[in-house]
C-alpha cells in the first residue's frame, strides 16, 4: 500500500492517545523528534512545578511538611508513582540524584570485589558516563580499569548479542552493568534472560534504564534484577536536569549504602540528629542529601500523564508510530543512502529510529533549518523519536517529506558535516 498524508491523518484520528498531545507545549511550525533526549513540557508538569514554588512562597520552611506537595516525602511519593513503570513494589523505587550519581551510589553499595570475583562487566556500546563511573569506582578499590572493566564487543557496532554477554559472565566477574535499551541503535536487551543467567552464576546485575523508562514496560522485580537507575527527562518529560530514579530489589534491603547521607535515614529518625545512621528499610536508604525539590516537582504532573495514558498503550503506539516512520523511510528515502540501524523486530526495538547516513551531521542541521528537531549521535546517526504522548502520524509523514526534499535538493551541502557543542 502506498502511504500518503490522508493515511497519516486517518491514523491520527484512530489514535487513542491523541488527546494527550494538546497537553504539551508544542511549538507551531516545528516538529519535535528529540523526545528521547529531552521530553517536552506538559501543562500538568508546569502546574505541579508552580504549585511547589507556591508552597515555598506560602509556607517557607514549613513547606517540608505542609502545603500541596510536602517536600519531605516527595522522593518517596514519586517512587510510588514510578513503581508500575519499572515493574516493582513501591518501596523498591526512589526518585533521587541523577543517572550518573545513582550509578556511583549503586556501585559503591553493591560492587564488593572478593577473592577471584573482582571485575565489572559492561559493553563497548554503553553511554560514556556509565563507563566513567565504573572506571572511577574500580580505581577507588585499587583496581586498574584497563584490566578490571570488561567490555562485551559488538559485532557490527550497532547491536549486542545476549549470547556474547552470557559467555562473558565468567567467574572473575563480580557485577554487571548494562543498558536496558542501547542509546544509539535503540536495541532492547533481553533483561529477563540476562538477569536469570547472572543470578545463576552469583553475579549481581544492574541496568541503566535511561532509554526505556516511559517507553517500554519493565518487570524488574519479577525478573530478579538487583538494581537499576535512570533519568526522568527523556521519555518521562520531567524537565532538564530532572531528578533521576533508582531501583533496588527488596532482597537487598538492609545493605549498607556505599555513599551514606542523612536523607537515607528512616523518615522518623532523620531529625533525631544522631551520629549513627538508621537507614530506611527501603530503596530510600540510597538517597544522599536534600532532594532538589524544584527539579522533582514537574515529575508529579508528568507521571500523572503517563499513569493515565497507561504504559501498555504508550508502548503500543510507540511501536506503531516508529514502524510507520520506518515504512515511510523505506518508501520515500530508498534512493539516498540511508540505513535503518535499529532492530526491526518489535521485541528488540525501543522508542526511536536510528537512521544512519555518512552526511548525518549536516543532514541534521538542514532538518533544523527546515523546522524538524532531530538529534545527532557521532559519527553517522540521526535519531528520530516519535513520542507516543505527543507526536502525531501527520508530523512523521511531514518529517519524511522534509527529509526527501533535503536529499533531493541537496540542502545539506551548505552546512559542515560536524556536530554542534551539544549534539
Ligand atoms: C541520558 C543518559 C545518561 C545521562 O546521565 P546523567 O547523569 O543524567 O547526565 C546516562 N546513561 C544513558 C544510557 C543515557 O541515555
Q: Tell me if 233 CB under 6 Å of ligand 1.
A: no
pLDDT of residue 241: 97
CATH number at residue 351: 3.90.1150.10
Instruction: Please report the pLDDT score of residue 18 as a whole number.
Output: 95
Residues 68 and 105 in one domain: yes
**Three cell numbers at 253?**
534491603
For residue 24, the 8-state DSSP code is: B
Is 100 a pocket residue for ligand 1 (Cβ < 6 Å)? yes
Ligand 1, atom 1, lies closest to the CA of 210
* 20 ligand 1 Cβ < 6 A: no
Probe residue for ligand 1, chosen from 123, 183, 423 as the CB with the greatest number of ligand atoms within 8 Å: 183
- Same domain flag for 303 and 315: no
State the DSSP H helix or E strand holding residue 332, giving kind and residue range, or none if neither: helix 311-332
Indicate the number of domains in the chain.
2
Residue 187 C-alpha from the chain's centroid? 13
Rounded to two decimals, the pTM is 0.97
Ligand 1 atom 6 nearest Cα? 99
| 40, part of any domain | no
Task: Answer yes or no: do 120 and 264 share one domain.
Answer: yes
Q: Which domain holds residue 364?
A: 5-32+310-406
122 lies in the same domain as 196: yes
Establish if 215 belongs to a structural domain: yes
Instruction: Tell which atom from ligand 1 comes closest to the C-alpha of 234.
Output: 1
Answer whether 227's CB lies under 8 Å from 246's CB: yes
To test the pocket of ligand 1, the residue of 106, 132, 210 to mutate (highest count of ligand atoms within 8 Å of its CB) is 210
Asked whether residue 420 is assigned to any structural domain, the reply reads: no
Residue 140 shares a structural domain with residue 57:
yes
Residue 422 lies in a domain: no
DSSP string for 70-113:
-GGGHHHHHHHHHHHHHTS-GGGEEE-S-HHHHHHHHHHHH---
Residue reference for cell 535538493: 409
The protein residue with its alpha carbon nearest to ligand 1, atom 8, reads 99
Q: What's the pLDDT tens digit per position in 239-272?
A: 999 999 999 999 999 999 999 999 999 999 999 9
Domain end call among 264, 287, 308: 308
Q: Is the CB of 212 under 6 A from ligand 1?
A: no
- State the cell numbers at 74: 516527595
| The pLDDT value given to residue 418 | 84
Q: Which helix (DSSP H) or strand (DSSP E) does residue 32 occupy?
A: strand 31-32
- Are 130 and 271 part of one and the same domain? yes
**What percent of the chain lies above the pLDDT cut of 90?**
97
What is the distance between the alpha carbons of residues 70 and 328, in angstroms, rounded to a whole number?
48
Flag whether 382 is in a domain: yes
Beta strand residue intervals within 181-244, DSSP E: 204-208, 227-230
Let me know whether 168 and 288 are in one domain: yes
pLDDT at 423: 75
* Predicted confidence pLDDT, tens digits, the chain (423 residues): 789 999 999 999 999 999 999 999 999 999 999 999 999 999 999 999 999 999 999 999 999 999 999 999 999 999 999 999 999 999 999 999 999 999 999 999 999 999 999 999 999 999 999 999 999 999 999 999 999 999 999 999 999 999 999 999 999 999 999 999 999 999 999 999 999 999 999 999 999 999 999 999 999 999 999 999 999 999 999 999 999 999 999 999 999 999 999 999 999 999 999 999 999 999 999 999 999 999 999 999 999 999 999 999 999 999 999 999 999 999 999 999 999 999 999 999 999 999 999 999 999 999 999 999 999 999 999 999 999 999 999 999 999 999 999 999 999 999 998 888 887
Amino acid at each position: 500500500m502506498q502511504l500518503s498524508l490522508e493515511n497519516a491523518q486517518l491514523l491520527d484520528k484512530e489514535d487513542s492517545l491523541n488527546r494527550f498531545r494538546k497537553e504539551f507545549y508544542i511549538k507551531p511550525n516545528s516538529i519535535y523528534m528529540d523526545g528521547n533526549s529531552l521530553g517536552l513540557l506538559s501543562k500538568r508538569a508546569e502546574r505541579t512545578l508552580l504549585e511547589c514554588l507556591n508552597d515555598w512562597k506560602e509556607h517557607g520552611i514549613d513547606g517540608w511538611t505542609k502545603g500541596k506537595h510536602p517536600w519531605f516525602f516527595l522522593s518517596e511519593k514519586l517512587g510510588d508513582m514510578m513503581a508500575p513503570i519499572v515493574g516493582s513494589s513501591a518501596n523498591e523505587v526512589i526518585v533521587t540524584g541523577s543517572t550518573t550519581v545513582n550509578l556511583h551510589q549503586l556501585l559503591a553499595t553493591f560492587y564488593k570485589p572478593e577473592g577471584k570475583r573482582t571485575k565489572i562487566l559492561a559493553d563497548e556500546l554503553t553511554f560514556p558516563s556509565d563507563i566513567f563511573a565504573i572506571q572511577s569506582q574500580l580505581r577507588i578499590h585499587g583496581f586498574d580499569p584497563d584490566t578490571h572493566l570488561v567490555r562485551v564487543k559488538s559485532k557490527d557496532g550497532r547491536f549486542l548479542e545476549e549470547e556474547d554477554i552470557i559467555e562473558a559472565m565468567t567467574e572473575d566477574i563480580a557485577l554487571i552493568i548494562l543498558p536496558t535499551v542501547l542509546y544509539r541503535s535503540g536495541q532492547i536487551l533481553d533483561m529477563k534472560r540476562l538477569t536469570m543467567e547472572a543470578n545463576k552464576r552469583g553475579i549481581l546485575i544492574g541496568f541503566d534504564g535511561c532509554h526505556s523508562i516511559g517507553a517500554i514496560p519493565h518487570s524488574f522485580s519479577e525478573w530478579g534484577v538487583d538494581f537499576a537507575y535512570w533519568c526522568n527527562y527523556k521519555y518521562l518529560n520531567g524537565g532538564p536536569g530532572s531528578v533521576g530514579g533508582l531501583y533496588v530489589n527488596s532482597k537487598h534491603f538492609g545493605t549498607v549504602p556505599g555513599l551514606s547521607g542523612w536523607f537515607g535515614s528512616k523518615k522518623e529518625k532523620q531529625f533525631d540528629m544522631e551520629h549513627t545512621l538508621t537507614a530506611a528499610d527501603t530503596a530510600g536508604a540510597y538517597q544522599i542529601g536534600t532532594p532538589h525539590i524544584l527539579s522533582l516537582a514537574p515529575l508529579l504532573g508528568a507521571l500523572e500523564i503517563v499513569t493515565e495514558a497507561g504504559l501498555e498503550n504508550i508502548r503500543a503506539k510507540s511501536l506503531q508510530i516508529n514502524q510507520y516512520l520506518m515504512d515511510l523511510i523505506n518508501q520515500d528515502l530508498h534512493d539516498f543512502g540511508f540505513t535503518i540501524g535499529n532492530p526491526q523486530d518489535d521485541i528488540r526495538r525501543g522508542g526511536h529510529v536510528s537512521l544512519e547516513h555518512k552526511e548525518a551531521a549536516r543532514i541534521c542541521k538542514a532538518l533544523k533549518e527546515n523546522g524538524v528537531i532531530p538529534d545527532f549521535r557521532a559519527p553517522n546517526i540521526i535519531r528520530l523519536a516519535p513520542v507516543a504522548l505527543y507526536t502525531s502520524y501527520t508530523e512523521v509523514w511531514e518529517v519524511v517529506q522534509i527529509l526527501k526534499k533535503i536529499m533531493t535538493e541537496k540542502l545539506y551541502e551548505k552546512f559542515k558535516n560536524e556536530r554542534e557543542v551539544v549534539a
